[in-house]
């Protein structure tokens, strides 16, 4: 074997646990605690039902995070394709046995537990694309023949999610896939071409949007056109954020939220309630924590010697960023209203699991940063 591959190919469990970046773990824990406090406030100083379930889900997710941190990266590489196809199967099953809520069929019940496969397809798609591009030299990434398969791999879950319908998640899936394409160095001309094709297809796509989705677009440009209807959510969100001022009204003292003017306070619009109670300073602090999580994660990602580790880590970081950016932009009226949760803050088991799985994978790639991976696994 060439000396280039004479490196440490395995770590003991203790060694792996020692390699876990404690600072990143603390940042994730602090973010979760902000969410726990917010959900306690949403329920009018009651631990039930939101805060209690949020805590239980975080504990389960944290255990899963630790397991993923220490499992063999060879196993992750081998399971990349099977996990993707399993998620695709779950998205297909939703069309037949899915549970409908608020006009969308996004959930499937397994052993009495409701799961949202669209949350997990984001992660599995990143793994799938990372393994695909890991299997050949990066110089070949812009070859047309090498782009057909990843394009199909990306468009299948996007189409299945749009059918549910879930436009917000489909956009995030495209962002995640696009980040992988950018990281591997695909020629910018293809991005421009894709953008122009997307713009050209808007008139066609518009015809297939549901009425409420079209109203969200109209409301984005002019919320005052229907202040008691489709524009109500975003107008109340802006009022609540503005009323928080610099330092906020105080914990448990939000008027817009506790008088039930704010919609979906425990999920998509939880940042609004948080901003009302803790003001600009509190909201800014939370965004700084999110930014720090992203920067620390990037520092871990670039240390990986394997292309698979780099692609997985960077793709998942972009997914995390897109969730934060879209959710915060939405509640501030900078983006149309879509159903995108705020990571670790919003109430939702699938979102929590997917987020902690993502950071478990990022940490795993960092722990195994000095291991060179062959096309199908370790170079032994």
> Which of residues 158 and 338 earns the better pLDDT score?
158
Q: What is the mean pLDDT of residues 102-120?
A: 76
Contact indicator for 236, 263 with CB cutoff of 8 Å = yes
Provide the mean pLDDT of the chain.
85
* Nearest-10 Cα torsion for 122, 197, 340, 230: -160
pLDDT of residue 101: 65
Q: What is the mean pLDDT of residues 187-211?
A: 81
pLDDT of residue 359: 97
Q: Which helix (H) or strand (E) holds 297?
A: helix 270-301
Q: Does the pLDDT at position 194 exceed 90?
A: no
Whole-Å CA distances, 10 to 19, 60, 117, 379: 13, 27, 32, 11
In tens, the pLDDT along 210-264 reads 777 777 777 777 777 777 777 777 888 888 888 888 988 888 888 777 777 777 7
Contact indicator for 151, 132 with CB cutoff of 8 Å = no
Q: What is the mean pLDDT of residues 104-119?
A: 77
Q: Return the domain boundaries, the chain.
A: 73-341
Count of all residues that appear for the chain in the document: 380
Lowest model confidence (mean pLDDT) among 55-59, 73-77, 182-186, 371-375 = 371-375
pLDDT of residue 123: 95
CA distance 43 to 46: 5
Q: Does the pLDDT at position 13 exceed 90?
A: no
Lowest model confidence (mean pLDDT) among 4-13, 204-213, 292-301 = 4-13
DSSP β-ladder status, 113-115 and 377-378: unpaired
CA distance 60 to 261: 33
pLDDT of residue 2: 38
CB burial of 209-235 (b: ≥16 within 10 Å; e: otherwise) equals eeeeeebbeebbeebeeeeeebbebbb
In tens, the pLDDT along 140-192 reads 777 777 888 999 999 999 999 988 778 888 889 999 999 999 988 888 888 88
> Which of residues 125 and 377 earns the better pLDDT score?
125
Q: Does the pLDDT at position 378 exceed 50?
A: no
Q: Where are the beta strands (DSSP E) in the chain?
A: 99-101, 104-110, 113-115, 373-374, 377-378
Cβ neighbours of residue 30 under 8 Å, at least 6 residues apart?
289
In tens, the pLDDT along 286-328 reads 999 999 999 999 999 999 888 999 999 999 999 999 999 999 9
CA distance 363 to 299: 11
Q: Does the pLDDT at position 7 exceed 60?
A: no
Residue 7's CB is within 10 A of a number of other CB atoms, namely: 11
User: To 10 degrees, what angle do helices 117-134 and 73-97 make?
Assistant: 140
Distance of CA 338 to the CA centre of its chain: 14
**Confidence at 10, pLDDT banded by 50, 70, 90:** low
Contact indicator for 42, 265 with CB cutoff of 8 Å = yes
**pTM, entire model:** 0.89
Q: What is the mean pLDDT of residues 127-137?
A: 90
Token code pair at residue 143: 């070859």
């Amino acid at each position: 074997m060439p000396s280039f591959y004479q490196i440490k190919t395995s770590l003991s469990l203790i060694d792996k646990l020692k390699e876990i970046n404690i600072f990143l773990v603390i940042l994730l824990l602090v973010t979760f605690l902000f969410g726990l406090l917010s959900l306690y406030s949403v329920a009018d100083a009651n631990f039930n039902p939101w805060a209690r379930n949020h805590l239980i889900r975080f504990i389960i997710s944290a255990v899963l995070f630790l397991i993923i941190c220490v499992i063999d990266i060879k196993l992750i590489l081998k399971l990349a394709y099977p996990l993707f196809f399993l998620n695709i199967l779950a998205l297909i099953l939703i069309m037949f046995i899915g549970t409908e809520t608020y006009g969308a069929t996004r959930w499937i019940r397994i052993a009495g537990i409701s799961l949202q496969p669209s949350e997990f397809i984001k992660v599995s798609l990143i793994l799938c694309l990372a393994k695909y591009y890991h299997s050949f030299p990066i110089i070949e990434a812009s070859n047309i023949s090498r782009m057909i398969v990843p394009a199909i791999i990306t468009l299948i879950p996007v189409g299945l999610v749009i059918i549910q319908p879930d436009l917000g998640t489909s956009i995030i899936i495209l962002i995640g896939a696009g980040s992988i394409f950018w990281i591997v160095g695909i020629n910018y001309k293809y991005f421009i071409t894709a953008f122009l094709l997307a713009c050209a297809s808007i008139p066609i796509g518009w015809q297939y949007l549901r009425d409420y989705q079209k109203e969200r677009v109209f409301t984005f440009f002019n919320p005052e056109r229907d202040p008691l209807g489709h524009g109500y959510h975003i107008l109340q969100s802006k009022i609540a954020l503005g009323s928080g001022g610099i330092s906020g009204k105080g914990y448990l003292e939000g008027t817009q939220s506790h008088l039930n003017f704010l919609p979906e306070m425990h999920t998509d619009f939880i940042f609004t309630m948080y901003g009302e109670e803790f003001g600009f300073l509190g909201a800014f602090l939370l965004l700084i924590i999110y930014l720090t999580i992203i920067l620390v994660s990037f520092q871990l990602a670039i240390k990986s010697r394997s292309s698979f580790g780099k692609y997985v880590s960077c793709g998942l970081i972009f997914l995390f960023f897109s969730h934060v950016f879209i959710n915060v932009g939405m509640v501030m009226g900078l983006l149309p209203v879509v159903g995108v949760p705020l990571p670790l803050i919003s109430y939702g088991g699938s979102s929590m699991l997917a987020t902690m799985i993502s950071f478990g994978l990022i940490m795993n790639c960092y722990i195994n940063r000095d291991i060179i991976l062959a096309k199908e696994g370790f170079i032994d």
